[in-house]
Amino acid sequence: MMKTHTTVALVIILITLGLCPMASADKSFNVRSPRGNRVNLMITSCALKTIRIYNLEFSEDGDTFSLMAAPNGSADAIKGISIEFHADSIPVKSEFVDIGPGKTMQEVYCPESFDEIVIDCFGY
């Protein structure tokens, strides 16, 4: 049942992002993780301009967070993003991943406790 709620929340987020492809401000959403805690999911304006997000999802047990995305613009480009986990506004874990070319699925392990996920762009 929790997975259904999480999936529905993430689908709503993706629909919102799909309707606003020219977003110029950070987007922030409150979602419930499979572990039962509320998580603020923030996607920066830089990330929204750099990549196209197709799917965001927690694993059933909440141990991993996955992202399916592709670079905006050139299909041959590789874009770098960071996925940061915060607890009480303090970064507890950061992962840097490359997106592209084409749709790319990236999975990162979640720390034991966190209350925010920030998806941002970096590098080239």
Q: pLDDT for 35-49, tens place per residue?
A: 888 999 999 999 988
Lowest mean pLDDT among 6-15, 16-25, 61-70, 84-93: 16-25
Q: What pLDDT does residue 9 have?
A: 60
Q: List the domain boundaries for the chain.
A: 2-122
- CA dihedral sign of residues 55, 61, 62, 63: negative
Determine which helix (DSSP H) or strand (DSSP E) holds 96, and give its type and residue range: strand 90-99
Instruction: Give the mean pLDDT of 91-99.
Output: 90
Tell me the pLDDT tens digit for each residue of 10-33.
656 665 655 554 445 788 889 888
Model-level pTM greater than 0.85? no
CATH architecture of the region 2-122: Sandwich (2.60)
